[in-house]
């Protein structure tokens, strides 16, 4: 199981979710994507995205510099072909 990091700080809705979706497509099932954002809409957006696609939101937390999400790649988003 690999961990990939995505810096989406400074981006406004819907860009953090769109970039997370794109990044998840490149991961294998069971891999984890860590996304960092600053948009206040991100907690609701990431939760809705995971619910809609079947990805697992492992952690959602607010820190000093914004938000951090850990999303486990599930079978929900089809894997991108290389």
**pLDDT for 79:** 65
Across the chain, mean pLDDT equals: 93
Active site amino acids: 13
Could you report the per-residue pLDDT of 20-54, keeping only the tens digit for each? 999 999 999 999 999 999 999 999 999 999 999 99
CB of 31 closer than 8 Å to CB of 77: no
Which pair of tokens denotes residue 57?
Answer: 């939101």
Report domain extents, the chain.
3-72
Q: Thinking of the domain 3-72, which architecture would CATH place it in?
A: 2-Layer Sandwich (3.30)
CB of 69 closer than 8 Å to CB of 38: no
Name the band, by pLDDT with cuts 50, 70 and 90, for residue 6: very high
Question: Model-level pTM?
Answer: 0.90
Report angle CA 82, 3, 67 to the nearest 5 degrees: 115
């Amino acid at each position: 199981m690999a961990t990939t990091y995505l810096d989406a700080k400074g981006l406004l809705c819907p860009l953090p979710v769109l970039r997370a979706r794109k990044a998840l497509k490149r991961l294998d099932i069971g891999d984890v994507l860590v996304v960092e954002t600053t948009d206040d809409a991100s907690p609701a957006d990431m939760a809705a995205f995971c619910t809609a696609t079947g990805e697992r939101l492992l952690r959602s937390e607010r820190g000093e510099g914004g938000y951090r999400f850990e999303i486990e790649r599930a079978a929900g988003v089809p894997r991108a072909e290389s």
